[in-house]
Amino acid sequence: MKRKLALVLTLTILFGLLSFAGQGHAAKVRASLPDTAARERRIAEAAEALRAQMIEQRRDFHMHPELSNREERTSRIVAEKLKALGLEEVKTGVGKYGVTALLKGAKPGAVVAVRADMDALPIQETIDVPYKSQTPGVKHACGHDVHTTVQLGVAEILTKMRSEISGTIKFIFQPAEEGPPAGEEGGAALMIKEGALENPRPRAIFGLHTWPEAEAGQVVYQSGAAMASSDKFHITIRGKRSHGAQPQQGIDAVVVAAECVIALQTIRSRRIDMTEPLVISIGIIQGGNRFNILADEVKLEGTMRTLNEEVRARAKQLMKETLTGITSAYGATSELKFEENAAVTFNEPQLVEETLPTLRRVLKEANVKSIKPMMIAEDFAYYQRVIPGFYYFLGVGNRSKGITAALHTAEFDVDEESLVVGAKVMSNVLLDYLDRQAVSK
């Protein structure tokens, strides 16, 4: 009994000492950390000072938009700027026109990554602004000109604060977010394949996207599933040609395709949990070449979106089974091919929780709101498959100035005030993240 008591006492003292030592370390690290409020003020001043330069830079990118995997000029400007700022290990040609670079803080610590995409869209700009796209049929209609500019702004602000940075920031400038041209690889997946997340491997990754439904000065976000997985699918249904007046001699691929179109919708309505978002949409159906001949082949193309990787896998399986079942009942055959466009963008809830105080502090509580997940897709998801990540939306709208057009439209524009806001917010997010890692080491 006594020995047991002694053992308990010893363990208690030992545990106390250990946790005291632990607190000692944390307290020491905390004491060596910069005063967050003062640092935030300096970041705000630095972002303000860059206002004119960032506006000019964004307008330059906007006037010279480049399509996915063709970001030669943008990428060159980015790399030159990073070198001029004195970032370390500026690598070009990572995943075609991708650029990565390191900003090493003066103090040891974790590695955190931040990503911006650089490509534009095949859309003819219709707004009449001084910085209108100079390339016919191509426009920065998804705000990637803003993303690239903000991230260059962050690099510039933080290179001047090296002495107070605990750890390393890896900057990733990515091409082809909108998807590489047919037959080419590209985007986040290719950059990862070519080592963007290695040497050194970041512990987490952050990114932002313009969002016209929120006003400049605001940030909106989701915790958990944020954006959908996106799979393009191609279906080929093969039957047998015959005279339109003698259908019994053929296998009518048009009738079979019609049944398949309807049946595929029942996967959503009858086979998958109603609380799980899923959409299967067929956008193209093509077949036949004459009014009185039964088509022997019909091709369909569509997109499937989910917010859950298990639902995604299950729906793919059900599509295959449904098509096989229906076509075989008619004596036809089918082929189904998937082209993966993006995985589910999943914001690690703990990382979101830890980051929210920073967003609220910098922007004021009322300007940070959570929103519902969306069925649009984003290839940032590929980084989040490797490391935890948080992808949030930067408000770029301004109702009073009439800036309200949606992403991917010919009229899309941003309130350039968002450049200053974005640079300020992201700089704080990254430094606060590194501080937390230093404390919890």
Catalytic residue among 40, 119, 178, 432: 119
Q: How near is the Cβ of 296 to Zn ion at its closest, in Å? A: 38
Q: How near is the Cβ of 323 to Zn ion at its closest, in Å? A: 30
Question: What residues contact residue 230 under an 8 Å CB cut-off, 6+ apart?
Answer: 303, 304, 305, 340, 341, 342, 377
By the 10 Å C-beta count (0-12 exposed, 13-18 middle, 19+ buried), 269 is classed as exposed
119 is catalytic: yes
CA distances for 60 relative to 130, 213, 437, angstroms:
11, 24, 37
Q: How near is the Cβ of 210 to Zn ion at its closest, in Å? A: 7
CB 311 within 8 A of CB 272: yes
128 is catalytic: no
Q: Between 51-63 and 417-439, two packed helices, what is the crossing angle to 10 degrees?
A: 110
Q: How near is the Cβ of 196 to Zn ion at its closest, in Å? A: 18
Nearer to Zn ion, 148 or 168 (CB): 148
Strand partners, 393: 209, 220
Q: Strands of 278-287's sheet, edge to edge?
A: 278-287, 297-306, 229-238, 333-342
Q: How near is the Cβ of 143 to Zn ion at its closest, in Å? A: 6
Q: Is 191 in the site for Zn ion (CB under 5 A)?
A: no
Alpha helices in 364-416 (DSSP H): 381-386
Residues binding Zn ion: what is the number (CB under 5 A)? 1
- The binding track of 91-130 with respect to Zn ion, each residue x by CB under 5 A or -, is ----------------------------------------
Where are any strands of DSSP class E within 10-105?
A: 88-94, 98-104
| Residues from 253 through 312 that contact Zn ion (CB under 5 A) | none
CB 219 within 8 A of CB 426: no
Q: Which stretch binds Zn ion (CB under 5 A): 91-99, 141-149, 158-166, 245-253?
A: 141-149
Among 29, 33, 142, 323, the residue binding Zn ion under the rule CB under 5 A is: 142
- Name the residue number minimizing CB distance to Zn ion: 142
| Contacting residues toward Zn ion, per CB under 5 A | 142
Kindly list the catalytic residues.
Answer: 119, 177
